Structure 1
Amino acid sequence: MSADQKMSSSTEATTITLDRQEDDNSKTTINKGKSIKSIVNPKAATSHNKGLSILDFVLRLLATAAALAATATMASTQQVLPFFTQFFQFRAEYNDIPTFSSFLIANGVISGYLVLSLPFSFVCIVRPRAAGPRLFLIVLDTVIMAVNLTAAAAAAAIVYLAHNGNSNANWFPICQQFGDYCQSASGAVVASFVAAAILSFLVLVSAFALRRM
């Protein structure tokens, strides 16, 4: 073999060795990048979930306030008309209508649940990566939201009839006489729908947080 051929083969071998070294270096860089990402991503996810947990806790406080307002307002819904005789007194109370009584009980249960759910929400703040408490809350939040919407929708139908009546069924609007009664019942229904809206948002927040885990 000539000297030129030896030098050529030696140069090719050196080039191949350098190419392999470059490939190894690039693989090492990629692996380091992956390892850095694997270290950074959990921290970012934890920080994100903690923010969602704080939002969840604040929303639960707001939903609790709305449900308690609906319960208290309906419980105080009553009116006595100023004109009455010795034998007759025109008086309207929430328990005169069974739907309003069911509404009061439902919102009382919802208020109690929201208060009891606050410690679980706080656990999610302390442990943002814990999936158990969040899954527990999302299931019960969905059930309570359904109960809330059912009670609020039924009470809203009665409030509508009280305001507008139904000429086909000869049901007269009682709100022309019992204005304060209807106003109080309407306020309770609105507060209950606000609580339902917050509960639906809570379900979305919990679902998004579980997806990020």
Structure 2
Amino acid sequence: MMKSESTAIDVPESGTVSKGKASLMAAPRDGKKGIAIFDFILRIGALVSALAAAATMGTSDETLTFFNQFFQFQASYDDIPTFQFFVIAMAMVAGYLVLSLPFSMVSIVRPHAAGPRSLLLIFDTVTLALNTSAAAAAADIVYLAHNGNATTNWFAICLQFGDFCRKVSGAVVASFASAVAFMLLVVMSGLALRRN
């Protein structure tokens, strides 16, 4: 009796191999996750900048003593309503940025979700307007402090209150840095939504 040999060859199922290749090929390559990660990093940078602006302006004061202790002149942020508005507005901007970080994380985990991105786009635009208005108003007062206005007899106080002027100028620069970050956030959110 002859023994019959089997000539069958074991071949893996074609569905599993092609399914694995198809899942690799279908991986998103549009960079939405990269945009979401950059969005999160930019929000942290804007938060640091807004907090620095509010804290620097809120602690800006200088006292000058003339002749003796009885003649003192003081410059403080709370003497000027525009600077008070600046501190409140930048604190609100920083508070919004803290609240927006979880939504930005959701955009990292689910980069194709349009809901959180749309919500961030709307609130980023509103916050950009608040940030820009506070920065522009404070920049105008800082300009007057440095240069004065001869027509209205406003004198430049920065020759006497140098430390005060340096601090408020730094706060204004930090607020414009956060405004630029918000502009980038709005543009990036718009681009990410356009790709949906």
**TM-score range normalised by the length of the shorter chain:** 0.7 to 0.9
Letter of the 1:153 partner, please give it: A
- Which of 167, 178, 185 is the aligned partner of 1:184? 167
Deviations 1:106-131 (A, max 9, x none): 00000000011000000000001100
Q: How does 1:1-213 map to 2 (within 5 A)?
A: 40=25, 43-45=28-30, 48-83=31-66, 85-213=68-196
Letter of the 1:199 partner, please give it: F
- Where do 5+ consecutive residues of structure 2 fail to align? 1-20
**Does structure 1 retain, via aligned residues, the 8 Å contact 2:61–2:74?**
yes
TM-superposed CA distance for 1:44, in Å, is 2.0
Which of 74-83 and 197-206 deviates more? 74-83
Q: Partner of 2:5 in structure 1?
A: none
Length-normalised TM-score, structure 2: 0.85
Q: Percent identity?
A: 57
- RMSD over aligned Cα atoms: 1.7
Greater per-residue helix proportion: 1
Q: Partner of 2:8 in structure 1?
A: none
Structure 1 or 2, whichever has the larger Rg, is 1
Length-normalised TM-score, structure 1: 0.78
Distance 2:98 2:116 in 1: 15
Distance 1:198 1:59 in 2: 6
Deviations 1:23-70 (A, max 9, x none): xxxxxxxxxxxxx99x9567223xx11010000000000000000000
TM-superposed CA distance for 1:89, in Å, is 1.6
Letter of the 1:43 partner, please give it: P
Q: What SS does the corresponding residue of 2:62 show, helix, strand or coil? A: strand
**Does structure 2 retain, via aligned residues, the 8 Å contact 1:84–1:90?**
no
Number of aligned residues: 175
Letter of the 2:158 partner, please give it: C
